Amino acid sequence: MSKAIIRPARPADMPTIVRFNIALANESEGLRLDPKTAQAGVRRMFSNPALGRYFLAVSSTGERLGQLMVTTEWSDWRNCMIWWLQSVYTVPEHRGRGVFRALCEHVLGEAAEAECRVRLYVERDNAKAISAYRALGFRDSGYDLMEHGLAG
């Protein structure tokens, strides 16, 4: 595969992002997302850029190879934004070919320019993802993630 081109996602990419999110939830957590809810969530992100943004990896022919979503959190302790990587997905037949690395390095470069920290969360048992993240310089932050609220 030639080098992936990384670009911001556009509203025309919504069906692809919804499809990738449904596949990601099923693969990573065994969840069956409701397509209408997933579509509404992606549409809402595009209608309110303050919620976050998506990046796509595409081939030179325009084939969509993978995605990554960035959301933000303000840290008063650090006086900087923290960018959270979410909805990370690579099409199965393109895994191991540098798609995720290209997406991540692109976002890490933008974050460095904006003087932001970058975080992500990962399933504790997902050794392959943990290994990929560590290869890109991520390390254990010393925090456990907890949540409260609606199930699902």
Residue 133 near residue 122, CB atoms below 8 Å:
yes
d(CA 26, CA 33): 8
Residue 111 has pLDDT above 70, yes or no: yes
Mean pLDDT of 111-132: 91
Indicate the domain borders of the chain. Answer: 5-135
The neighbour count for residue 29, using CB atoms within 10 Å, is 11
Higher pLDDT among residues 152 and 86, named by residue = 86
Give tens-digit pLDDT for 19-57.
999 999 999 889 999 999 999 999 999 999 999 999 999
Please give the class, per CATH, of domain 5-135.
Answer: alpha beta
Mean pLDDT of 65-82: 96
> What is the reported pLDDT for 2?
64
Residue 119 has pLDDT above 70, yes or no: yes
| Tokens 């920290």, located at residue | 117
The neighbour count for residue 111, using CB atoms within 10 Å, is 18
